[in-house]
């Protein structure tokens, strides 16, 4: 059994360039009440608790930048995605609080 590589960490100031450079999508795993405070443009919204049942809604070959309020749920989600065959999942370091959307 081989160790999985660490999840890539994307700095808040670089999220747009990372998404563009990787032709990626943004996945917001917060809860609906949190989404009401604002989401990044073009984000797909699936709460972390619904992610296991929603994997078929995402393309396993498209890179995904996972975001949440502080970076903890998104880290868990990125690890979960990669362990379920997704090509590339990255975490927004520090979460959306760093961008004023939490």
Contact 4, 83 (CB under 8 A): yes
pLDDT of residue 5: 75
- Secondary structure (H, E, C), 41-84: CCCEECCHHHHHHHHHHCCCCCCEEEECCCCHHHHHHHHHHHHC
pLDDT of residue 41: 93
| Ordered structural domains, the chain, with CATH | 8-99 (3.40.250.10)
Q: What is the mean pLDDT of each run of 10 residues along the chain (102 residues)?
A: 79 97 98 94 97 97 98 97 96 95 81
pTM above 0.85, yes or no: yes
pLDDT of residue 89: 97
Which of these is catalytic: 68, 78, 90, 96? Answer: 68
Active site residue 68: yes
């Amino acid at each position: 059994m081989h160790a999985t590589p660490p999840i890539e960490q994307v700095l808040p100031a670089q999220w747009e360039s990372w998404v563009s450079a990787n032709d990626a999508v943004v996945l917001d795993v917060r809860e609906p009440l949190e989404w009401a405070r604002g989401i990044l443009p073009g984000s797909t919204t699936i709460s972390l608790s619904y992610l296991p049942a929603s994997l078929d809604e995402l393309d396993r070959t498209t890179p995904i930048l996972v975001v949440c309020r502080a970076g903890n749920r998104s880290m868990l989600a990125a690890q979960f995605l990669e362990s379920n065959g997704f090509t590339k999942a990255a975490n927004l370091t520090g979460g959306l609080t760093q961008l004023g959307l939490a």
